[in-house]
């Protein structure tokens, strides 16, 4: 059984936290009450401007090839690709199984993270780049920000040391390098969660339908 004094202290702390949260909510409500129609209209206008800017960014990203995982045909094209986008993940590959595994995950992430360009280039057909960037192990991902290589993911060592790593493992590694936008929970997990919820709803509806027959 808990010590009465400890119990009393805990209860006081809980009440203090609850009061602080309540005061914060009261302050926010009061702030909203003080807003007049002009303030509300100004907030609405700012929100619309932000949405417009985001839509323009998305259109620009798509026009540059974001949203798809594509191959850079030659070394000279590499430079124009990395200069055009602020964030690029480039897979240096050869035709082998480990690189095909990386291709699968890169293709998924390209669709999930439209803010970043996902590309690949054949390392053996790009000797100048491979030497300049010291590409020794394949697959290697060059993580490029503002036209400069900022980091590398070499092989699978940072992804659990196996070709059976999850796409989320790679997503977290890219987020750590700040080459993709990431808010803690994997966008892939969010998508899966939504899909599972939809399936559960459909299954429930199907079950209810069969019960009513």
> Is the Cβ–Cβ distance between 124 and 95 less than 8 Å?
no
**Would the pTM of this model clear 0.85, i.e. be above it?**
no
pLDDT digits (tens, 9 = 90+) for 132-162: 999 999 999 999 999 999 999 999 999 999 9
Average pLDDT over residues 89-96: 97
Element (H, E) at 88: strand 87-93
Tallying the residues shown for the chain, one arrives at 213
Other beta carbons within 10 angstroms of residue 158's beta carbon come to 16
> Is the Cβ–Cβ distance between 127 and 78 less than 8 Å?
no
pLDDT digits (tens, 9 = 90+) for 63-80: 999 999 999 999 999 999
Assign 3-class secondary structure to 33-58.
Answer: HHCCHHHHHHHHHHHHHHHHHHHHHH
pLDDT reported for residue 14: 64
Average pLDDT over residues 182-197: 52
Element (H, E) at 91: strand 87-93
pLDDT over 60 (residue 33): yes
Distance CA 144, CA 117 (A): 10
Alpha helices by DSSP H, 64-136: 75-84, 97-112, 127-132
> Is the Cβ–Cβ distance between 113 and 86 less than 8 Å?
no
pLDDT reported for residue 24: 76
pLDDT band at 88 (very low <50, low <70, confident <90, very high): very high
Other beta carbons within 10 angstroms of residue 106's beta carbon come to 23
pLDDT reported for residue 193: 45
Q: Which residues contact 107 (CB under 8 A, 6 or more apart)?
A: 69, 118
Using CB atoms within 10 Å of the CB of residue 104, give its burial: 0 to 12 exposed, 13 to 18 middle, 19+ buried: exposed
Lowest mean pLDDT among 49-58, 75-84, 91-100, 199-208: 199-208
In the predicted model, what is the mean pLDDT of the chain?
83
pLDDT band at 7 (very low <50, low <70, confident <90, very high): low
- More confident call, 83 vs 20: 83
pLDDT band at 102 (very low <50, low <70, confident <90, very high): very high
pLDDT band at 201 (very low <50, low <70, confident <90, very high): very low
pLDDT reported for residue 13: 66
Distance CA 34, CA 27 (A): 11
């Amino acid at each position: 059984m808990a010590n009465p004094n400890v119990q009393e202290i805990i209860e006081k702390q809980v009440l203090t936290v609850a009061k602080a949260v309540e005061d914060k909510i009261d302050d926010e409500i009061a702030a909203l009450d003080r807003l007049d129609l002009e303030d509300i209209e100004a907030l609405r206008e700012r929100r619309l401007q932000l949405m417009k800017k985001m839509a323009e960014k998305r259109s620009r990203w798509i026009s540059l090839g974001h949203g798809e995982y594509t191959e850079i045909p030659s070394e000279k094209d590499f430079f124009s690709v990395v200069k055009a986008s602020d964030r690029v993940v480039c897979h240096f590959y050869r035709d082998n199984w480990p690189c095909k595994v990386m291709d699968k995950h890169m293709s998924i992430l390209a669709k999930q993270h439209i803010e970043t360009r996902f590309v690949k280039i054949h390392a053996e057909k790009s000797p100048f780049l491979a030497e300049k960037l010291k590409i020794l192990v394949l697959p290697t991902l060059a993580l490029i920000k503002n036209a400069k290589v900022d980091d590398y993911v070499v092989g699978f060592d940072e992804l659990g040391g196996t070709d059976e790593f999850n796409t989320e493992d790679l997503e977290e590694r890219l987020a750590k390098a700040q080459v993709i936008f990431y808010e803690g929970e994997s966008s892939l997990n969010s998508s899966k969660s939504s899909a599972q919820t939809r399936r559960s709803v459909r299954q429930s509806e199907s079950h209810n339908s069969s019960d009513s027959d």
